Structure 1
């Protein structure tokens, strides 16, 4: 694990413990054993970070169900041992992180199963500030892809870039002089065709209804070279299979990380 991740984990612990866990300080300095248990079925993510948090707190921890693996209700995800004060002071931070990451991984896995192998599921930059690396890691654990981690990784020309800086054609030409891969977000079929004709490598169909998206895909398939096609906006677990059937190469889903339902985990003292 790299040092920047460790710094984040230490920050998470410090945020919760503050100047000290005054309730756990009431306990005698004895040692305990405990288990992290899944209270519902899920795809696990964040177990490696939870283990690191317990180690930072002065405990030992063994992962029983690793990241990317499926767990059933009642499964033991991790065994922990250490001073009672340390285990209980670390408990909430570890469970919170696992809960969020596993929630993201579980929904990603559901969507991946819905679309099959032909269409790739991607996350977006709609992540909680300070948690992007963890959120994106959870998407990958669920079988998805991370897309851009930051703005310096790829060119994606959006409507506000065009509104602020001139025409789509001018921006694509400017980008082509410096960058190899250019993606353009469009809101109608005409703009999709224009972006393709201007040489965009990826066309992002934003908030297209399924029928409109199908017509756009049909038009873009006639272009040579054919751009890759991404669909985004309003994607849910209920409609994602319909969008995938249209023939897009990629579907990006903001709700994977901006509307997370955490997985219910508990830490039970066993001895």
Structure 2
């Protein structure tokens, strides 16, 4: 089993579940089920299965990752030792509820933009469970962006602060990085956007620009006939209330950190029959 999942179980168990061990017989076998008390997109059901099966609990799926769910839906049935089911319960539910919350939020944004642009996550994930956050984004229909620092070059404001200017940082990366790695650079002004697109950055991220400024950049790139040189990504301050202001401006990607750092977990419950 994944080492992160093993750690999650060990962290919750401590030196043993003193409650279950004091009131439930060692060989008590039970049936249980996980039910939704919420609505959204299901994500993480295979992870929950892996957690329960690591304790020899038998698992029966009723729904799969990506399914739309509503209040009262039966997600999973379980059969096994009562102590083992209760030992895994909270860890499995916590991860399943979080992943489903991230997937549901991602799906809402994907539907809002109607496939006109790519909705992407960021690395603003929870420590140690970024892998599961990224999996949930994909299940919800969003792009995962970078999984880790070695996926691609992403030159941000602090890199630029060390080097001197966006263009200097871009040229250094193009000189020192393998052709197999895409290079993305974050810019905050029209001038820097133009220079980085002229020098063919793979992706230029317009950081914290309002819709008027984004429109100004796109129009200037088109006027100079260099728009095709780079993908244009926007990020910062974008939410459900204003995202449609950006969709038809001609950008390629909208990345939203809130999908993983602020999404509400769905509400699920485990019940023993």
TM-score (norm 1): 0.94
Count of matched residue positions in the alignment of Structure 1 and Structure 2: 266
Larger displacement relative to structure 2 (95-104 or 148-157): 148-157
After superposing the two structures, state which structure 1 stretch, 205-214 or 163-172, moved more.
163-172
Which residue pairs with 1:22 in the alignment? Answer: 18
Task: List per-residue Cα deviations over 1:163-193 (Å, max 9, x = no partner).
Answer: 1112322222221122332211011222111
Q: Residue 128 of structure 2 corresponds to which residue in structure 1?
A: 130
Task: Name the CA distance, whole Å, in 2 between partners of 1:220 and 1:152.
Answer: 30
Q: Aligned residue for 1:93? A: 91
The separation in 1 between residues aligned to 2:160 and 2:247, in whole angstroms, is 28
2:196 maps to 195
In the TM superposition, 1:94-243 aligns within 5 A as 94-177=92-175, 178-180=177-179, 181-221=182-222, 222-223=225-226, 225-243=228-246
Runs of 4+ in 1 over 6 A off after TM superposition: none
1:195-237 deviations in whole A, cap 9, x for unaligned? Answer: 1122212110111111111111222333164311101001112
Q: Structure 2: how far apart are the matches of 1:238 and 1:31?
A: 50
Instruction: Give yes or no for the alignment of 1:7 onto 2:6.
Output: no
**Structure 1 residues 266 and 240: CA distance shift in structure 2, 3 A:** same
Aligned partners of 2:165, 2:244: CA distance in 1, in Å? 34
Matched with 1:67 is 65
Contact 2:9 2:91 in 1 (8 A): yes
Question: Which structure 1 segments of 5+ residues have no match?
Answer: none
Q: Is the 8 A contact 2:37 2:72 kept in 1?
A: yes
Root-mean-square deviation (CA, aligned residues, Å) is 1.3
The partner residue of 1:249 within 248, 252, 260 is 252
Moved more, 100-109 or 66-75: 66-75
| Residue 238 (structure 1) shift | 2.0
- Structure 1 residue 24, shift from structure 2 partner: 0.8
Helix, strand or coil at the partner of 2:112: helix
Report Cα offsets for 1:91-122 as digits up to 9, x if no partner: 10000000110000000000000011121111
> What is the rounded CA distance, in whole Å, between the counterparts of 2:167 and 2:204 in structure 1?
14
Which runs of 5 or more structure 2 residues have no equivalent in the other structure? none
CA distance in 2, matches of 1:218, 1:68: 38
- TM-score between both structures, scaled by the size of structure 2: 0.94
